[in-house]
Structure 1
Amino acid sequence: MTTLLDGIEQSFVETERLRASVLRHTPAEGGDAAPVVLIHGNVSSSLFWQPLMLALPRPTIAIDLRGFGDSETLPVDATRGMRDFSDDVASVMDALGVSGAHVAGWSMGGGVVMQLLLDRPELVRSLTLQAPLPPQGFGTRLDGSLCTPDAAGTGGGGANADFVARLAAGDTSADEPTSPRSVYRSSYVAPGFADEHEDLWVESMLSTKTGVGNYPGDGVASDSWPGFAAGDHGILNAMSAKHLDLTGIVDVASKPAILWIRGAHDAIVGDESFFDFHTLGKHGVVPGWPGEEAAPPQQMVAQTRAVLEAYAAAGGAYEEVVFENAGHSPHLEDPTRFATLLEAHAAAADPTQVE
């Protein structure tokens, strides 16, 4: 199977941090415009961006994060939150001589690009967040406060062991609900969505490197329900509120305009997502739930909106766009509409050309 669609080129970039795989597309016209840099989410890779890359009228660069796709497999220090990833992205952009780019992040990648804005704002001309993780990290109440001091119910201990095993084994079947293909169909896209590239999307998922240092990471015991909390290594722990807080974007001095795109049928990032242990407890899937006051389902969308409202109140600007027929992957489910929105967002942030 060919993993690259016609028009997409792959190269490798050596930086002081890692050897990164990069996909690029330069359209026949518009090649001099500021590029869009695309950062994928968890259990995926840059391959997922290809339809959008081909639809955009300006150069695009999609980077594989460490431990995904064809980039070098390096451990993730969860105590740094998204910084191992965002520092890698910055090093690739520096090596390519790219600055002032239009940066877009999907899901976990949304957290990566928010961290990039915090640490290297000069790299970000505009920001696009697609179904981003909540800026407060996982394991928090609506106001962003931790539900328990150790963020119980988050991190590597919450991963489905059979799904992890099937990722490691390269399972391409749809025989069980925990197979990557079944998870893609049930959670990455809205019910009924199908395209001719499903095998490619599954291949992208299977590029995820598994283990304590990567996906899902480790877990530790907790005295709080459901009995485990975030460890200090690996991807799921890096997204836990024990280690992650991106709400500082409200206070950045230079505030690029933010475009926030989400699908109405997102099964992963939502205000009562079944990827959240508190939601599983509330609905009886995990026994012993201590109740709404102690373990409320995380209001992921509401939390993102609250932070972006504060960002706007502090002098920034954002737009929220909901794809009514999409799930977790609007860029895949409707790449033409996504490209139109992203291009308009980017063009508005580009310097005015003076004749």
Structure 2
Amino acid sequence: MISAERISTARTTLNVLSVPGTTGEPVLFIHGNVSSSTFWRPTMAALAESPDTGLRPLAVDLRGFGDSDPAPVDATRGLRDYSDDVLALLDVIGPAHLVGWSMGGGVVLQALRDRPEAVRSATLVNPVSPYGFGGTTGPDGALTHPDGAGSGGGTVTDFVDALRAGDRSADSPISPRSVLRTAYVVPGTDLGEDEDAYVESMLSTRLGEDHYPGDSVATTAWPGVAPGKRGVLNTMAPTYFRIDDLHTIDPKPPILWIRGTEDVIVSDTSLFDLAHLGAIGALPGWDDTPAQPMVTQTRAALDRYGNYREVAILGCGHSPHVEKPAEFRAALVAHLSEA
């Protein structure tokens, strides 16, 4: 049985899941964008059923997601509103192994960058690039335009409308359920009885300029939108979020990078990167702006870091812990046992 507790920190109040009766080293799971701790429930339950691992699984709802307080997000700090919340939680529960999925992977990277002594180990699950999402090129994340055009809160529209409408159907290709089935996982993945809970998790996302997706500004550069200063998607704009000095931290906790080989969200050819969509003719007016090589960028940053291992799960999409849970847990437990 998994329980939920609201924990007050020096910064805000966060909803945290735990498994009563488990003891050992804390492992804090951090969800991605348009989701919540709900996506970690099966992983937590499975770890708790294997007490020989000596782990205490926990999962947090980031601000504005799930049942945590909907504090506004200052995107000019990059992902630090989220990572500072996590570090404040660690001040309460003690140092922990951090596991971050997608945007949550970026939160883990920022927490690791800012306070490595609080992180026993890091696991990145299909993480956002160390140079954000959209608007960069090359392995070192060079900006394609100085204002970050092609990234930020103006890069989504219809999906926000579907979230606001509370669409639980699969009638539209941009409904939360359809996006879950076709982008969060490889199409055809059987999500079983958990699917409805995942949809409700997505719908728990707070909406607006202070939350998801955030604000945006117009730009003369293609595709005509640049990041604003508030809300979720702007936290990952390359003008605000950039971790190019991770290799300088001391100590260097071990990092495990787990990724699905069929991911269409975080990819060198991401179907959520406007530049790639322009290149394949899905968006008009493309001006040869190059796509962001997200996986290549992560690998380059981790190569500089040194103390890491990459596990690529074949036939898996954006959510290895959901799609290939046994393979995911095996890699994670092996990593944690060696940390």
TM over 0.5: yes
Aligned counterpart in structure 2 of residue 308 of structure 1, from 302, 314, 319: 302
Offset at residue 137 of structure 1 (A): 1.5
Counterpart of 1:49?
40
SS at match of 1:44: coil
Once residues 224 and 143 of structure 2 are traced to their aligned partners in structure 1, the CA distance between those partners, rounded to angstroms, is 16
Q: Which has the higher mean CA deviation after the structures are superposed, 234-243 or 248-257? A: 248-257
Partner of 1:328: 318
Q: CA deviation at 1:136?
A: 1.3
The answer on 1:104 being equivalent to 2:95 is no
Alpha-carbon distance in structure 1 between the residues aligned to 2:64 and 2:23: 31
Asked whether 1:145 is paired with 2:142, we answer yes
Give the match for residue 250 of structure 2: 253
The aligned counterpart of 1:76 is: 73
1:174 alignment counterpart: 170
The match for 1:187 is 183
Of 12, 16, 32, which residue of structure 1 is paired with 2:10? 16
TM-aligned CA deviation for residue 271 of structure 1: 0.4
Q: Is the 8 A contact 2:311 2:331 kept in 1?
A: no
Match for residue 28 of structure 2?
37
What's 1:133 paired with? 128
Cα offset for 1:329?
0.3
Q: Distance in 2 between matches of 1:227 and 1:84?
A: 27
Displacement, 1:336? 2.1
Deviations 1:191-242 (A, max 9, x none): 2101221001101100100000000001101111111101111110110101
Q: Shift in Å at residue 334 of structure 1?
A: 1.8
Residue 347 (str. 1) matches residue 337 (str. 2)? yes
Letter in 1 for 2:328: F
- Residue type at the aligned position of 1:120: R
Distance 1:241 1:266 in 2: 21
Equivalences for residues 232-247 of structure 1 within 5 A? 232-247=229-244
CA contact (8 A) 1:111 1:246 kept: no
What amino acid is the match of 1:188? Answer: Y
Letter in 2 for 1:111: G
Q: What are the superposed Cα offsets for residues 266-322 of structure 1, whole Å, 9 maximum, x if unpaired? A: 11000011100001110111111111xxx111100011001111111xxxx111111
Structure 2 counterpart SS, 1:149? coil
Q: State how far apart, in whole Å, the 1-side matches of 2:243 and 2:131 are.
A: 6
Query: Partner of 2:250: helix, strand, or coil?
Result: coil
Picking from 115, 136, 159, the partner of 1:163 is: 159
Match of 1:113 in 2: 108
Deviations 1:162-219 (A, max 9, x none): 2112212221111101100000001000121012210011011001000000000011
Identify the residue that residue 3 of structure 1 maps to in structure 2: none
Percent identical residues: 53
Return 5+ residue gaps in structure 1 as ranges.
1-6, 350-355
2:216 to 196, 207, 219: 219
TM superposition outliers: structure 1 runs of 4+ over 4 Å: none
Q: Which runs of 5+ in 2 are unaligned?
A: 48-52
Match of 1:165, SS state, is helix
User: In 2, are the aligned partners of 1:52 and 1:335 still within 8 Å (CA)?
Assistant: yes
The residue aligned with 2:50 is: none
Give the SS at the match of 1:197.
Answer: helix
